[in-house]
Structure 1
Amino acid sequence: MLKITPYLGILVLIVSIGGLWYPALGYFMLLIFAAIFLSSPFRGRWFCGNLCPRGSLVDFGVSKISKKRKIPDAFRSLWVRLPIFFLMMGFMGYRVASTIVGLNTFEKIGMIFVMMCLVTTSIAVLLGTFLSPRAWCSFCPMGTAQRLIGGNKYQLKLEKDKCVNCKKCEKVCPMQLKICQTGANPDCIKCGRCVSICPRDALHF
């Protein structure tokens, strides 16, 4: 986790809410997409745990009111995640393509990004409140893309001979991963909380 990570949540609120009046703010999403696709081939889902504004919002905001229940296993299934990915990307692509031929194209496309951000953030907040803060992240389309592109990169390593199975790492994992069983996981968001809390230094990247 970076020092700025806890403060990035404000950005998603600025885009989601401020964008309703200033659609150009929606183009901030393009910077997010670029950062994701530039980092994921080398670090997998590192962006999710360190630079994602929505991730910051749920980790440091929504977590304070979350029920903190178990994330349903179905959310992690690629059979669920891939259709959601193609549906959302296809819908966004269709909206952008159908807008290009009209007037005020710049603002209209910006508003498409704003609405996409607003809708997905609303879902993330609802799921984060009634399930677990990172419930949305389990099937987030961008998280799925990062997993597919670089899920085997910059993996968490578990030294089993040092592990005492205290499971402190699993208790602090925002993605509720079974770290003691597998160590490496393509959905690890590389936040480093497990590494920091391990009393035996059995975990590292």
Structure 2
Amino acid sequence: MLKEKLRERKLRQGLTWAGLPLVAILGWFYPWLGFLLLGCMAGAVGVAIFRGRAWCDWMCPRGAFFDLFIRPLSRRKAIPAFFRSQKVRVFMLFLIFTMIGTQWYLARGYLAAMGLALVRLLTITTLVGIILGLVIHPRVWCHICPMGTLAHWLSGGKNPLFISRTCTGCRACARACPMQLKPYEYRLEGLVGDNDCLKCGTCVAACPRRALSFDSGESKRESGLVA
């Protein structure tokens, strides 16, 4: 079941990853492509309002690129808590939007220059993400990504992941999670309270006890709470 889920994710990510080099490389020659980045930003926030951070799973070209091409080369070490710090996330959010605002102000309404500013920003942050991905873990950048942070804040209670009392704490879910989350830690609460969940379903597929589900009714059935 896990292999099928991973194959499904790769197929979906295969539909979107090319958007990253399209903008980060061709954008230097065609600056207008930079405005596609605004669509990605809007998508991350818009989807978060209804489904949590689901955009970051496979719809985000950069996230898909990291999983498909950086993960096989990554050292896949534990992501330091530093990168999940609220202060670091707020700082990155402020830094990125300040950079955009400053460059757009200097562009003085010249749309090509404004588009190039977005291309420049995407290229730099992607290079940082690649380095962090190779040295530590492919999804490190996703923990400090400004749009990921906004999605994180908007994701509370959206399409939650339930965990039943059949969970034995085997940690199979944590090993499968692309964000290195630990769903098993919420087995007493019955609801995974980490807003960085990408709703990818790999933990659900990896659980040998079928204790995880995005369907509260199914979770209760697996617990034996309902007939």
Aligned amino acid, residue 146 of structure 2: P
What is the letter of the counterpart of residue 81 of structure 2?
D
Aligned residues: 201
Q: Secondary structure at the match of 2:14?
A: helix
Tell me if 1:203 matches 2:208: no
Residue 197 of structure 1: how far off its partner (Å): 1.5
Distance in 1 between the 2:67 and 2:156 partners? 22
d(CA) in 1 for partners of 2:162 and 2:105? 43
Quote the residue 2:82 is aligned against. 74
1:67-106 superposed matches below 5 A: 67-101=75-109, 105-106=110-111
Match of 2:144 in 1: 139
Confirm whether residue 158 of structure 1 aligns to residue 163 of structure 2: yes
Q: Provide structure 2 residue ranges, at least 5 long, that are not aligned to the other structure.
A: 1-8, 187-191, 215-227
Distance 2:106 2:213 in 1: 47
> Alpha-carbon deviation of 1:28?
0.8
Check the 8 A contact 2:10/2:68 in 1, yes or no: no
- Root-mean-square deviation (Å): 1.4
Per-residue CA deviations over 1:7-57 (Å, capped at 9, x if unaligned) read 422210111011111111111111112212211111221111131111001
- Report the counterpart of residue 221 of structure 2 in structure 1: none
Q: Which residue in 1 is equivalent to 2:199?
A: 190
Kept after mapping to 1: 8 A contact 2:49/2:158: yes
Q: Which runs of 5+ in 1 are unaligned?
A: none
Tell me which of the two structures has the higher relative contact order, counting C-alpha pairs closer than 8 angstroms and 6 or more residues apart: 1
Q: Which residue of 1 aligns with 2:67?
A: 59
- Post-superposition shift, 1:77? 0.8
Q: How far did 1:2 drift?
A: 7.9
1:8 and 1:56 in contact (8 A); partners too: yes
* 8 A Cα contact 1:156 1:185, kept in partner: no
**Whole-Å Cα distance in 1 between the matches of residues 178 and 158 of structure 2?**
19
**Residue identity opposite 1:163 in structure 2:** C
Task: Please report the TM-score for the alignment, with normalisation by the length of structure 1.
Answer: 0.93
Q: Determine the structure 2 residue equivalent to 1:177.
A: 181
| Equivalent residue, structure 2, for 1:109 | 114
What is the Cα deviation at residue 3 of structure 1?
Answer: 4.1
Quick check: 2:66–2:138 contact (8 Å CA) kept in 1?
yes
Separation in 2, partners of 1:37, 1:79 = 20
Q: Look at both structures and tell me which one has the larger radius of gyration over its CA atoms.
A: 2
2:130 is aligned, of 125, 133, 138, to: 125
- Measure the CA separation in 2 of the matches of 1:173 and 1:60: 15
1:38 aligns with 2:46: yes
Identity among equivalent pairs (%) = 35
Which of 1, 4, 8 is residue 16 of structure 2 equivalent to? Answer: 8
Paired residue secondary structure (1:41)? helix
**What amino acid does structure 1 have at the position aligned with 2:51?**
R
The 1-side partners of 2:68 and 2:10 are apart by: 13
Give me the whole-angstrom Cα distance separating, in 2, the residues matched to 1:151 and 1:3.
Answer: 28
